[in-house]
Amino acid sequence: MYWKSSNKSVLYYLVLAVFSLFGMYLVEHFLSEKIQPNYSEKTEAAKLTAKAFETIRYYKESKNKKIDPVFDPSSSGLIGEFFTSVTSNLGLLRAKQTSINPNFGALVLEYLIQAGVDKGDTVAVSLSGSFPALNIAVYSAAKTLGLKLVVISSLTSSQWGANDPEFLWPDMEKELFTRGIFSYTSLAYSWGGIEDQAFGIPKEGSKILQNSASKNSLPMLHSKNYSESLEERMNLYSSVIPLSEYKAYINVGGGTVSVGTKKNAGEFSPGLNLKHPVTHDGRDSVMRRFANLGIPIIHLVRVEELAAQNGFTIQPKKLPEIGEGKIFKRSEYDLRLAAAVLVGILALLYVFFKRDHFIEEDRDESL
């Protein structure tokens, strides 16, 4: 084994180390913001979502409906109550507050574009009264892209959703349609809740739901159990166009028939699902039916997780600004700066090693 001690001074290594660390600091600190694709369309979708939020807030204020600043700090009018007679199940206030972000309209648009949806395409949708803000985000993205929607919505809501007996999701949808914000309305409504039959809702609540359906002239699903509801939903979707011709399926919330039972919980990830995971757990569902046809699934659940992934504010204290998040701009390394630092390091190495080479030659000649 041949070993030769280094004749380089400590100063040599110190200079190289200091320059390298300084260069790394520059590269990490001076990041460049890169505008993401479809920036203008995303901005348009977010602005439309904010406009719809404002329409709902104005309506509630015009009806002298109180907006609690503690539970609804952004004064959106889209946060409901802890419990009412039409509340179907538990819900997280943090998730509902996080959903009050107009940039979710841009996120849905991003998912649709990634799914390959084009102007004029038809998308199947299942909406939930539990997340009216996300319902609005879906409509905003669809309008921006010029899509056709076939929508089935639920009447009931979990805690803090559209569970005001006098202002359910159908009332919000009608108000937005009447004001000309959206041209979309639901093809039909289900009761929602357990087994999609609103089991556990008291008689008073059931009467309110029935009155809402009658008042808004809403067609209701006639199914009496989970299986019937699943088949009725699929038949409604196929009555518009063949199921295989839908370009995407969007689900908002945890509607049982759309998503499946608790055993289905991990079947689809929050956000865009382009591949259907192979699983036989849980019950059949609308999402599974569409996925089996190779149709992309957009699954809007676990809102805080979606927000964190995309750089949105969790539980914002005021309405977030348009353009927040990674889908609009991303901080990326400045490749020119990184290249300059690399060239500098290589130049130092060359200078030092060249100097050592000359010293070695001089030493050999002196011998």
**The dihedral sign for the CA sequence 90, 271, 184, 122:** negative
Is residue 276 very low, low, confident or very high in pLDDT (cuts 50, 70, 90)?
A: confident
- How far CA 248 is from CA of 121, 167, 294, 296, in Å, comes to 9, 29, 9, 5
Amino acid at 367: L
The H-assigned helical ranges of 116-160 are 132-145
* CB-based contact 114:36 (threshold 8 Å): no
Distance CA(348)–CA(362), nearest Å, equals 21
Give Rg (Cα) of the chain: 28
Q: CB-hemisphere CA count at 13 Å for 14?
A: 3
Is residue 268 very low, low, confident or very high in pLDDT (cuts 50, 70, 90)?
A: very high
Q: What tokens appear for 365 in the block?
A: 């000649």
Distance CA(210)–CA(91), nearest Å, equals 23
Mean pLDDT of the chain: 89
Give the global pTM.
0.85
Q: Which of 254, 106, 142, 278 is nearest to 193 (CA)?
A: 254
pLDDT 10s digits, 141-162? 999 999 999 999 999 999 999 9
Q: Work out the average pLDDT over 107-116.
A: 98
**Burial of residue 275 (number of CB atoms within 10 Å: 0-12, 13-18, 19+):** exposed
* CB-based contact 331:32 (threshold 8 Å): yes
Distance CA(59)–CA(21), nearest Å, equals 58
Is residue 363 very low, low, confident or very high in pLDDT (cuts 50, 70, 90)?
A: low
Q: Work out the average pLDDT over 269-290.
A: 86
Widest distance between CA atoms in the chain: 108
Q: Work out the average pLDDT over 246-267.
A: 88
Q: Work out the average pLDDT over 209-224.
A: 85
Domain ranges in the chain are 10-31+333-366, 39-329
Residues 318-323: contacts with CB within 8 Å, 24+ apart?
A: 318/73, 318/74, 319/50, 319/53, 319/74, 319/76, 319/100, 319/101, 319/102, 320/101, 320/102, 320/103, 322/43, 322/46, 322/47, 322/50, 322/102, 322/103, 323/43, 323/46, 323/103
3 state SS of 329? strand
pLDDT of residue 84: 92
Is residue 348 very low, low, confident or very high in pLDDT (cuts 50, 70, 90)?
A: confident
* CB-based contact 123:112 (threshold 8 Å): yes
pLDDT of residue 8: 61
Angle at 352 between CA 346 and CA 354, to 5 degrees: 95
Q: Which of 74, 38, 144 is nearest to 321 (CA)?
A: 74
Angle at 122 between CA 50 and CA 127, to 5 degrees: 50
CB atoms closer than 10 angstroms to residue 3: 4
Least confident of 45-54, 59-68, 273-282, 284-293: 273-282
pLDDT of residue 279: 66
Q: Is the pLDDT of residue 360 over 60?
A: no
| Residue whose pair of structure tokens reads 């041949």 in the numeric block | 2
DSSP letter string, 157-211: B-TTSSEETTEEHHHHHHHHHHTTS-----SEEE-BSBTTBTBT--HHHHHHHHH
